[in-house]
Each structure stands twice: as C-alpha cells, then as structure tokens.
Chains A and B, each alone.
Chain A
Amino acid sequence: NAGVTQTPKFQVLKTGQSMTLQCAQDMNHEYMSWYRQDPGMGLRLIHYSVGAGITDQGEVPNGYNVSRSTTEDFPLRLLSAAPSQTSVYFCASSFSSGNTIYFGEGSWLTVV
C-alpha cells in the first residue's frame, strides 16, 4: 500500500538545468496536485489535475509544466531552473477536491 510516491527525495540543480519530479499514486485517485512549501509562506498550489488528460494552473505555475497521461502519474517539470525555485515540493492526491487529501513525503530541491 504505497499511497503517493515522489522521486527524487533530494536534488541539487544548477541554474538553467531542467528536471522532472515524479509522482505516482496507487489509490485510483482522479485529483492530483503539486505544491511548493517555503518558510513563512505555507503551501502554494503549482498545478493540479482532475483526471487523465486534464490539467490546470494553480497559484504559482510559472516555470513549471505538468502532464497527466495516466490516472496514476503526475510529473512536474522544471523547464529552466532558477534559484527562486529552491523549495520543498509535495505531490498530493484525492478522489476529488471534496475528499481527504493524501500527500507524498516531499522532494527537496536546491538550485545553485
């Protein structure tokens, strides 16, 4: 019973590099989302998806891309990393926005 799995857990990038944070869930949840958590700012929604093939922007989408080709997977792509993207990233899923949310363990990203 894995729940929500994020990889990698830690990553250091150089400015301008690109990378993908992986997120997978095994609960057959339709709703998946990505957040970043910064000190003093709480969690902010980056992108979300209400089902395979459907994605939309959250509060802070600039510099990030997502796709949802399957129900299980929701990868987050950093196109050209910037120091301002240094943060902890969390993936979350639920049956819908009206149900309990399950979070992954987080991915710590440092951009130098």
Chain B
Amino acid sequence: KQEVTQIPAALSVPEGENLVLNCSFTDSAIYNLQWFRQDPGKGLTSLLLIQSSQREQTSGRLNASLDKSSGRSTLYIAASQPGDSATYLCAVPNFNKFYFGSGTKLNVKP
C-alpha cells in the first residue's frame, strides 16, 4: 500500500518569505502527483498536477517538483501572502485509488 507523508505538519512564516512544503511517498511507481489546497470548512482545490514524465510544474507563484526515484515532491511558494494560509495536501494514484498525505497547515503572518 502506498504511504504518503507530509512534513512539516504545520508551518508559520512572515509574509514575503519563500517556502517549501514536502511530500514523500513509498511506492515510486506513480504516473502523476497532485497538490491541493484546502481552506477551513471547504473542499480541496487542485493546484498543480505533475505527470511522471515531468520534473516540474509551475502556476503563478507556485512551483512543484517531482523526483520519482527518491519518492519526493516539493511545493515551492514564492513571496508568500496571508491569502496563502491554508492546508496543502499532496496525493498520488495507485491504479484507481488515490492516497493523500495528512497535509501541511500553513499560516502566513502579515
């Protein structure tokens, strides 16, 4: 069974900092990885999807990288803003099942 781990569980940073969130997975035979954002009391919103053939995917201030061989993905957030405060989750598929990490709760202080 695929195990997905996200470290740290929580992170508090001042506004303007660049930061990195980590996601690791045990089975490297994945064909993609997705990063999501979850606001309190809301569903998950997909931020980035990286196919296994890609190493990076960018959207605005977000950049996600994928290293299948080491079982790791990182989500880089540039110039963080208070509006980035949310929980960030990663997910990997295994055939028709998705496995999620427990998330990193980010607080960006004004």
Residues of A near any B CB (own CB < 8 A): 4, 31, 33, 35, 40-45, 48, 50, 56, 58-59, 90, 92, 97-106
Prevailing SS type, chain A contact patch: strand
Using Cβ atoms and an 8 Å threshold, which residues of chain B touch A105?
42-43
Residues of B near any A CB (own CB < 8 A): 4, 31-32, 34, 36, 41-46, 49, 89, 91, 93, 95-103
A-B contact count (CB 8 A): 58
Can you offer 16 A-B residue contacts whose CB atoms are under 8 A?
A4-B43, A42-B4, A45-B98, A48-B96, A48-B97, A97-B97, A97-B98, A98-B31, A100-B34, A100-B46, A101-B34, A102-B46, A103-B43, A103-B44, A103-B45, A105-B43
Residue of A nearest to B51 (CB): A98
Prevailing SS type, chain B contact patch: strand
Residue of A nearest to B48 (CB): A100
CA distance A32 to B6 in the complex (A): 25
B43 touches A101 (CB 8 A): no
Q: How far is the CB of B70 from chain A (nearest CB, A)?
A: 21
CA distance A35 to B97 in the complex (A): 11
